[in-house]
């Protein structure tokens, strides 16, 4: 199944006999909460899901967006109407990071039929609603482990034996700036692969063939294990979405850079344009 869905395909699916569950996961790092935007207008039937409290646990030694408690995540998905055998479509405000985190979480927890609205809410040309839908509670039970994850040691090892992609902006990878975490730089051996280079100007992902070519040029040639990290495991999910569209399996280092630099004793840090 394709990991993304176009606005036109979604409109057709919503008009069908068994429309997908819609999750609105609008979120902006460092910005206002997404719920007011949801209440001001969302896809008809969509349920709001909060990234900070339902798709991530409290920040701490495991990073700024560690995995949530499985029971909390499961309850949030049931509240939204998720159940086995029914498709789910997730969307955000267009950046794609939050929606991809929700996509990855559901896939990791064993729900296979989930897709991201390509281009997010800006791609939708239909009417919006301010009505909060009355949703019948779903029966989804998370079964973690359907997708691979990395811890800090696993990420370090993968950087040596395979391909570890850093999804952050190039200047953060190089250590020129670090607006959020206490240390600048990257995991030694990681390759810079800014996730925003996976998308077109309108926020939609590049075609699968172009994504495959991009990742092949970065070293994902089919002979190496691939892993991805970012600042806190959110934008890296969009990189994983792009890799999935390109047909390349990959693991997520959930704690990402925010965990790497929070661990004691300090882990090694590389700077500059080369993996190091």
Say if 180 falls within a structural domain. yes
Residues 160 and 55 in one domain: no
At 114, is the pLDDT very low, low, confident or very high (cuts 50, 70, 90)? very high
Predicted confidence (pLDDT) at residue 264 exceeds the cutoff of 60: no
Q: With contact defined as beta carbons under 8 Å apart, do 101 and 51 qualify?
A: yes
Report whether 77 contacts 106 (CB < 8 A). yes
Residue 63: DSSP 8-state: B
- How many percent of the chain have pLDDT more than 70? 100
Whether 270 is covered by a domain: the verdict is no
Distance of CA 183 to the CA centre of its chain: 23
Number of domains in the chain: 2
Residues 154 and 244 in one domain: yes
Q: What is the pLDDT of residues 199-250, one digit of tens each?
A: 999 999 999 999 999 999 999 988 999 999 999 999 999 999 999 999 999 9
Does residue 228 share a domain with residue 173? yes
Q: Residue 91's beta-bridge partner residues?
A: 24
Burial group, residue 96, by CB count within 10 angstroms (0-12, 13-18, 19+): buried
Is the CB of residue 232 less than 8 Å from the CB of residue 65? yes
Closest to 159 (Cα-Cα) out of 257, 18, 46 = 257
- 119 CB contacts (<8 Å, ≥6 apart)? 7, 94, 202, 203, 204
Q: Are residues 111 and 154 in the same domain?
A: no
Q: What is the pLDDT of residues 160-207, one digit of tens each?
A: 999 999 999 999 999 999 999 999 999 999 999 999 999 999 999 999
Same domain, 26 and 107: yes
User: Is residue 156 situated within a structural domain?
Assistant: yes
Is the pLDDT at 1 greater than 80, yes or no? no
Q: Which secondary-structure segment (H or E) carries 240? A: helix 235-245
Q: In what order do the strands lie in the sheet with 163-166?
A: 149-150, 251-253, 226-229, 163-166, 191-192
User: What's the whole-number mean pLDDT along residues 40-62?
Assistant: 96
Same domain, 10 and 115: yes
Domain identity same for 89 and 48: yes
User: Does 20 fall in a domain?
Assistant: yes
> Which range of residues forms the domain containing residue 233?
149-260
Strands (E), the chain: 4-5, 21-24, 47-48, 88-91, 114-117, 149-150, 163-166, 191-192, 226-229, 251-253
Q: What is the pTM of this model?
A: 0.96
Asked whether residue 133 is assigned to any structural domain, the reply reads no
Q: Are residues 153 and 107 in the same domain?
A: no
How confident is the model over 131-143, as pLDDT tens digits? 999 999 999 999 9
Instruction: Tell whether 132 is covered by a domain.
Output: no
Instruction: Enumerate the active-site residues.
Output: 230
Examine residue 97 and state whether it is found in any structural domain, yes or no.
Answer: yes
The C-alpha atoms of residue 106 and residue 116 are separated, in whole angstroms, by 11
- Is it the case that residue 34 has pLDDT exceeding 90? no
Residues 193, 113, single domain; the answer is no
The vertex-50 CA angle with 170 and 246, nearest 5°, equals 45
Residue 137 placed within a domain: no
Statement to judge: residues 56 and 116 lie in one domain: yes
CATH of the domain at 103: 3.40.250.10
């Amino acid at each position: 199944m394709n990991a993304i869905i176009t606005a036109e395909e979604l409109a057709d699916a919503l008009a069908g006999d068994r429309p997908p569950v819609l999750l609105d996961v609008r979120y902006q790092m460092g910005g206002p909460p997404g719920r007011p935007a949801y209440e001001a207008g969302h896809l008809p039937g969509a349920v709001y899901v909060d990234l900070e409290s339902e798709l991530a646990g409290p920040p701490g030694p495991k990073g700024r967006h560690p995995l949530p408690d499985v029971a909390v995540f499961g309850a949030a998905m049931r509240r939204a109407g998720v159940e086995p055998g029914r498709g789910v479509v997730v969307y955000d405000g267009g950046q794609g990071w939050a929606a991809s985190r929700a996509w990855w979480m559901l896939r990791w927890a064993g729900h296979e039929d989930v897709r991201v609205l390509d281009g997010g809410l800006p791609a939708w040309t239909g009417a919006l609603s301010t009505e909060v839908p009355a949703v019948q509670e779903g029966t989804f039970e998370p079964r973690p482990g359907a997708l691979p994850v990395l811890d800090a040691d696993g990420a370090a090892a993968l950087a040596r034996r395979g391909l570890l992609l850093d999804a952050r902006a190039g200047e953060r990878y190089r250590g020129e700036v670090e607006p959020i975490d206490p240390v600048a730089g990257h995991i030694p051996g990681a390759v810079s692969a800014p996730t925003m280079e996976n998308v077109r100007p309108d926020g939609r992902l590049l075609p699968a063939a172009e994504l495959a070519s991009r990742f092949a040029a970065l070293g994902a040639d089919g002979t190496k294990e691939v892993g991805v990290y970012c600042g806190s495991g959110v934008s890296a999910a969009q990189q994983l979405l792009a890799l999935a569209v390109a047909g390349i399996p990959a693991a997520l280092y959930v704690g990402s850079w925010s965990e790497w630099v929070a661990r004691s004793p300090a882990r090694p840090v590389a700077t500059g344009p080369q993996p190091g």
